[in-house]
Structure 1
Amino acid sequence: MQIEQIYTGCLAQGAYYITSNGEAAIIDPLRETKPYLERLERDGVNLKYIFETHFHADFVSGHIDLSKETGAPIIYGPNATCEFDCISAVDGQVFNVGKIKIKVIHTPGHTMESTTFLLIDENGKDHSIFSGDTLFIGDVGRPDLAQKAASMTQEQLAAILFHSLRSKVMTLADDVIVYPAHGAGSACGKNMSKETVSTIGEQKKTNYALRADMTEQEFIKEVTDGLLPPPAYFGMNVAMNKKGYDSFENVLNLGMRALSAVEFEAAAEETGALMLDTRKNGVFAKGFIPQSINIGIDGDFAPWVGAMIADVKQPILIICEVGQEEETVTRLSRVGFDNLMGHLKGGFESWRKSGKEIDTINRISAEQFAKELKVGESKIIDIRKESEYSAEHVEESYSRPLATINDWIKDIDSKEHFYMHCAGGYRSMIAASILEARGYRNFTEIEGGFNAISKTTLPKTDFVCQSKVL
């Protein structure tokens, strides 16, 4: 028996590849199927089943394409209604894979079809669980995402999750290994550990939601407290996972269309496509196509694309470093952004050489910021998450998280200058590109963000009155 966790850091997502005696199972696969097919061929095994722990909200699964390529059936737990061929298993149903067994344990709460898969080894011993978004390392799945579909409140779903965990998961032996669908950085929970593997016993000791003395009401309160609104694209990804989607190969072909600078400009004007620039923030700041939005491929690219663009049907034109075209298309497809119009042939340099208009971002170093800042007079916007801001921030700065930019951008006085930063420059450049695309030029972005600012002598504090307005 072999179990491999295939972890994708950009999505903080874990897929699982399991083999036994010439047969294989894959759990929660990513959109692109080629790596799985190559692995199956290399290992000389047949894919027997594709298991899905639930209808994912934060990425588009590769289950449909993988099933078409291999003939392996797609297995969901109870309550799953697909608009494609799938098996909605019953609670307790067992599937054989080589010499091992995979048992369906229905664990609703995160969603009503959420299922944990228990792997029973060749000796008949409970070995590990693939817990999807039911149980994470240090956390449990948020119960607010399926409210509309389930016609329930988040509190009702949380109560169901409480009983799923207590009656189905926590009754397993302490040495059973826990393999979750996500780790730190995912928006599917709020307190996930950076670790991606644990045991039932360890989680009973350390996971706040699995305390032995916890009441149902305490669980509901703690699990629902502090939940941030889910990214807008989540519902669209759920729909794609339930209803189906275009094949990855078709999406790749669309994105790999190379457009000259003239063709690229014409496509942008004719289609109203969003121009997405995936270069590093420092490179983008020095020169970019006017109206383009920067979301760097080297950061949490896919989640921020989903959060900022939101509508998966939005036409997109790609600007990236030469050689990164396929990687960019792949990452976009993972979160359902399939309406790709092509990419700029030769990257940004081809646009520069064509003599077309170029824009820049007013970016300065943290040291220059410290020299320019007039305490009590200069306005500073901190676009990190509220939790980051609460821990420490520049004195008298305002908390305006990037995720809510569409809410606070309208409050900006276009005649008043402000400084803007995040933690390291990745998110503040996203914000800067959005601001410039909407006509705001009255700001200065800080290179290196708070990480660099914290090394200066600027006064910092852990509290500021937020009653003031921008």
Structure 2
Amino acid sequence: MKVEQIYTGCLAEAAYYIESEGEAVVIDPLRESQPYIERAARDNAKIKYVFETHFHADFVSGHIDLAQKTGATIVFGPTAKPSYEAYIAQDNDEFQIGKVRIRLLHTPGHTLESSCYLLIDEHGEEVALFSGDTLFINDVGRPDLAQHVIADLTQEKLASYLFDSLRNKIMPLNDNIIIYPNHGAGSACGKNMSKETTDTLGHQKKVNYALDTSLTKEQFIKEVLTGLVPPPGYFPFNVLMNLRGYESLDKVIDRGTRALSVLEFEVAMHETEALVLDVRKAETFAKGFVPGAINIGLEGQFATWVGTLIPDLKQPILLISDTGKEEEAVLRMARVGYDNCIGFLKGGFEAWKQADKETDKIETISAETFAELWKNHKKELDVIDVRKKSEHDAEHIIGSENMPLDFLNNYMAQFKPDKIYYLHCAGGYRSMIAASILKARGVKHLIDVTGGFSAIKATNKVGISEYICPTTLL
């Protein structure tokens, strides 16, 4: 028996490959099916089932393409009603894979159809639980997402179901069972996930707040709902794609990787009202870019930020990238449902420059230069911190204003076209995204602080305000 976790860091997503005696299953695959097909081929194995733990919100699963290419059966838990052929299992149904069995446990709470898959080895021992978004390491799946798709559901009702699922289905299992969740730290499907991607159930019972046996159902509901921030806007649309089906990834990539000359690219910009997405590194983008382009660098959590900042999944997108990175960009957008990339600029930004087309740039300064400016003119500087509120609350530059990148659109009216703004995030990735959006919206004077807050703090020349937890009065 082989069990392999296939983890994709930029989405904080874990898919799983299980093989026994030439039969294999894949659990919660990403959009691209070829890596799973190649993995099974190395074992001379046939993919028999594609198990889905639920209708995912944060990515488009590859279950449909994978099933079509391999003949595998798609399996969902009870209550699932996909618009394509799939086997809807009942609670405790078992599936034979070689010498091992996999038992479906219906665990509603994150969603109604949420299910876990219990792996039973050839000796009849329960050895692992593929827990989907029901149980994470140090956290549980947020119960507020399905209500954005099913109107009569409430987060309180789903949290109540989640409590019952954890107490009645998962916690009675053996402590030595290995937990394999669908996500790790960085995913928006939970609020406090660990960087670890596996653990034993016994250890989770000791450290995971949601498995605290002293919590009543009412206390659990309050605890699990406290501190949730609004999910990215693309989540409900990904759920619908996973439920209804989607275009083949092969067609999406063929369309998105069409090479366009400078003239063709320029015509497409004007005729399609496409968004120009520049995926080069922040420091490269700052030195020169096509006017109006938005920068979201491939080296960061690219797909998540595309989904967070581009509200329309059907938005036509024209791509500018480093040579050879075009297909990667199209693929990573497709993972979160952005299938309408219509081509890329052949030769990249250099071709645009050589054609003597208009260019733009973002001014940058070092953390040291910023520190000197702050020291001498702090009352006059408009410093915008685009980190999350929790990051800003923990520590921030005295006098800075927090405008989280996630919600930048909510602050647009506060920016004046002719004022000078100094932008920073933690390290420079998010602040350049913000600068590109603001520049495209007509804010002219933007200065990005290279290295972000960490570099500024390291100068020891800038006043930092730290949050101090108030002492409880007894």
TM-score range, shorter chain: over 0.9
Aligned to 1:247: 248
Give the distance between the partners of 2:119 and 2:311, measured in 1 at CA: 36
Aligned to 2:177: 176
Alignment of structure 1 residues 284-295 onto 2, 5 Å: 284-295=285-296
Q: Tell me if structure 2 keeps the 8 A contact 1:25–1:47.
A: yes
Q: Which moved more, 1:249-258 or 1:410-419?
A: 410-419
Residue number among 457, 462, 465 corresponding to 1:458 in the alignment: 462
Superposition deviation, residue 150 in structure 1: 6.0
Alignment of structure 1 residues 36-185 onto 2, 5 Å: 36-148=36-148, 149=150, 151-185=152-186
Superposition deviation, residue 16 in structure 1: 0.2
Cα deviation 1:66-85 (Å, max 9, x = unaligned): 01001111000001000000
Give the distance between the partners of 1:377 and 1:41, measured in 2 at CA: 64
SS at match of 2:35: helix
Give the distance between the partners of 1:416 and 1:324, measured in 2 at CA: 36
SS at match of 1:158: helix
Q: CA RMSD in A?
A: 1.1
Superposition deviation, residue 418 in structure 1: 2.1
Unaligned runs of 5+ in 2: 469-474
Alignment of structure 1 residues 212-361 onto 2, 5 Å: 212-361=213-362
Counterpart amino acid of residue 460 in structure 1: I
Cα deviation 1:335-392 (Å, max 9, x = unaligned): 1111111011111111111110110001111111111221222121111011111111
Superposition deviation, residue 177 in structure 1: 0.3
Superposition deviation, residue 62 in structure 1: 0.4
Give the distance between the partners of 2:359 and 2:378, measured in 1 at CA: 34
Task: Tell whether 2:380 aligns with 1:377.
Answer: yes
Superposition deviation, residue 413 in structure 1: 2.6
Give the distance between the partners of 1:215 and 1:119, measured in 2 at CA: 30
Aligned to 1:397: 400
Cα deviation 1:43-94 (Å, max 9, x = unaligned): 1001110000000000000000001001111000001000000011000100
Alignment of structure 1 residues 440-451 onto 2, 5 Å: 440-451=443-454
Give the distance between the partners of 1:408 and 1:169, measured in 2 at CA: 43
Q: Which moved more, 1:265-274 or 1:206-215?
A: 206-215
Q: Tell me if structure 2 keeps the 8 A contact 1:94–1:102.
A: yes
Aligned to 2:471: none
Residue number among 428, 434, 439 corresponding to 1:436 in the alignment: 439
TM superposition outliers: structure 1 runs of 4+ over 3 Å: none
Superposition deviation, residue 262 in structure 1: 0.9
Aligned to 1:418: 421
Cα deviation 1:422-462 (Å, max 9, x = unaligned): 00000000000000000001331111100110112101012
Q: Tell me if structure 2 keeps the 8 A contact 1:231–1:310.
A: no
Q: Tell me if structure 2 keeps the 8 A contact 1:424–1:448.
A: yes
Superposition deviation, residue 258 in structure 1: 0.2
Counterpart amino acid of residue 410 in structure 1: A
Cα deviation 1:400-438 (Å, max 9, x = unaligned): 100000101112233332211000000000000000000
How has the CA–CA distance of structure 1 residues 247 and 290 changed in structure 2, closer, same or farther, with 3 Å as cutoff? same
Aligned to 2:472: none
Counterpart amino acid of residue 463 in structure 2: P
Q: Tell me if structure 1 keeps the 8 A contact 2:418–2:444.
A: no
Give the distance between the partners of 2:213 and 2:398, measured in 1 at CA: 42
Identity over aligned pairs, percent: 57
Q: Tell me if structure 2 keeps the 8 A contact 1:112–1:150.
A: no
Cα deviation 1:130-167 (Å, max 9, x = unaligned): 11000000100000001141612111111110110011
Give the distance between the partners of 2:151 and 2:92, measured in 1 at CA: 22
Give the distance between the partners of 2:119 and 2:349, measured in 1 at CA: 49
Give the distance between the partners of 1:223 and 1:462, measured in 2 at CA: 27
Counterpart amino acid of residue 9 in structure 1: G
Counterpart amino acid of residue 227 in structure 1: L
Give the distance between the partners of 2:170 and 2:47, measured in 1 at CA: 27
Normalising to structure 2: TM-score of the pair?
0.97
Superposition deviation, residue 463 in structure 1: 5.0
Q: How many residues align?
A: 464
SS at match of 1:307: helix
SS at match of 2:187: coil
Counterpart amino acid of residue 420 in structure 1: L
Give the distance between the partners of 1:116 and 1:232, measured in 2 at CA: 26
Counterpart amino acid of residue 335 in structure 1: V
Give the distance between the partners of 2:106 and 2:55, measured in 1 at CA: 14
Give the distance between the partners of 1:218 and 1:277, measured in 2 at CA: 46
Give the distance between the partners of 2:413 and 2:230, measured in 1 at CA: 20
Q: Tell me if structure 2 keeps the 8 A contact 1:56–1:237.
A: yes
Q: Tell me if structure 2 keeps the 8 A contact 1:114–1:133.
A: yes
Give the distance between the partners of 2:138 and 2:151, measured in 1 at CA: 26
Give the distance between the partners of 1:266 and 1:368, measured in 2 at CA: 41
SS at match of 1:355: coil
Normalising to structure 1: TM-score of the pair?
0.97
SS at match of 1:342: strand
Q: Tell me if structure 2 keeps the 8 A contact 1:273–1:317.
A: yes
Counterpart amino acid of residue 397 in structure 2: V
Q: Which moved more, 1:415-424 or 1:16-25?
A: 415-424
Counterpart amino acid of residue 435 in structure 1: L
SS at match of 1:7: strand
Counterpart amino acid of residue 159 in structure 1: S
SS at match of 2:140: coil
Give the distance between the partners of 2:378 and 2:241, measured in 1 at CA: 50
Give the distance between the partners of 2:436 and 2:299, measured in 1 at CA: 17
Q: Tell me if structure 1 keeps the 8 A contact 2:383–2:401.
A: yes
